[in-house]
């Protein structure tokens, strides 16, 4: 049975999509079958990474106009990874992003039903091992639906005080009520705060006290990653990069927690 991971954040600009893409690529690189969905309907970005125009968008799937399989593109031939790598893209047009804001509660509930029903097809028909959902920041309907459909929420935060405060409130109010496993990654940490294991452990402890959850990993702010094109998938293009190794470690720890260890 496959496992679903929602990658979420309190606000934008945390590096959530970077983590989502590289986590998916890491699993595919290790021979796992992966499906990555762009559920950030307010600011979709995965089309920039994968440079594809699907037959249908995920927006069409949620509107009930097509099946989820109709939205998927196969990225494996371009990426040369052993595992299957499907990607579902949100419509990046300004019209589509505006329409998302007009959806009512009934539509949101139907959208959740579509997602929950489609999961069985991904696992049984396409043999997906990991469904990774890159969500919208905050508590948009698509984010809540992704959380409900997930087995684990990977929450990406920075050390910004407002980000930590909002992240803590989401963990306490939203995730606890939905009874979802939650792991936190502190991203874009100033590298001078991580010059020794003792400093890293102290920072992790302080973040854990503020959030109520000990971070799974602290990721430094890499200037070269910030300058790199968004079309580059670091886990595949730079296998020896420190961030690649950190994402590999994150992928292994998540897999073990979900009862599907790597290897």
**Distance of alpha carbon 100 from alpha carbon 103, whole angstroms:** 6
> Is residue 174 scored above 70 in pLDDT?
yes
CA 159 to chain centre: 19
43 inside domain: yes
On whether residue 248 sits in a domain, the answer given is yes
Domain membership flag for residue 262: no
> Is residue 186 included in any domain, yes or no?
yes
CA distance 92 to 241: 30
Q: What is the pLDDT of residues 190-215, one digit of tens each?
A: 988 888 999 999 999 999 999 999 99
Which CATH number fits the domain that encloses residue 50? Answer: 3.40.50.300
232 falls within a domain: yes
Domain encompassing residue 32 = 3-257
Q: Is 95 helix (H, G, I), strand (E, B) or coil?
A: helix
What pTM was computed for the model? 0.95
Q: List, for residues 49-97, the tens digit of each pLDDT value.
A: 998 889 999 999 999 999 999 999 999 988 989 999 999 999 999 999 9
Number of domains in the chain: 1
> Which tokens go with 68?
């989820």
Query: CA 158 from chain center: how many Å?
Result: 15
d(Cα 91, Cα 175) in Å, to the nearest integer? 28
- Helices 161-170, 197-211: axis angle to 10 degrees equals 50
């Amino acid at each position: 049975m496959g496992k679903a991971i929602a990658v979420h954040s309190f606000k934008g600009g945390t590096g959530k999509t970077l983590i989502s893409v590289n986590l998916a690529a890491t699993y595919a690189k290790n021979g796992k079958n992966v499906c990555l969905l762009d559920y950030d309907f307010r600011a979709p970005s995965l089309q920039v990474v994968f440079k594809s125009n699907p037959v249908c968008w995920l927006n069409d799937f949620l509107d009930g106009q097509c099946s989820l399989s109709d939205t998927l593109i196969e990225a494996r031939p371009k990426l040369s990874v052993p595992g299957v790598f499907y990607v579902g893209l949100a419509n990046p047009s300004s019209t589509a992003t505006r329409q998302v804001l007009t959806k009512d509660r009934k539509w949101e509930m139907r959208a959740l039903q579509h997602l929950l029903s489609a999961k069985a097809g991904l696992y049984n028909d396409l043999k997906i091992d990991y469904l990774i959902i890159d969500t919208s920041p905050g508590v948009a309907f698509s984010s809540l639906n992704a959380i409900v459909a997930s087995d684990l929420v990977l929450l990406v935060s920075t050390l910004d005080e407002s980000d930590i405060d909002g992240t803590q409130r989401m963990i306490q109010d939203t995730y606890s009520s939905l009874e979802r496993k939650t792991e936190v990654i502190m991203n874009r940490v100033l590298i001078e705060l991580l010059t020794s294991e003792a400093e890293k452990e102290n920072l992790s402890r302080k973040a854990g006290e503020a959030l109520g959850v000990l971070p799974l990993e602290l990721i430094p702010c890499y200037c070269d990653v910030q300058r790199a094109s968004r079309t580059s998938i670091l886990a595949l293009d730079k296998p020896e990069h420190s961030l690649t190794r950190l994402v590999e470690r994150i992928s292994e720890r998540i897999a073990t927690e979900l009862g599907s260890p790597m290897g």
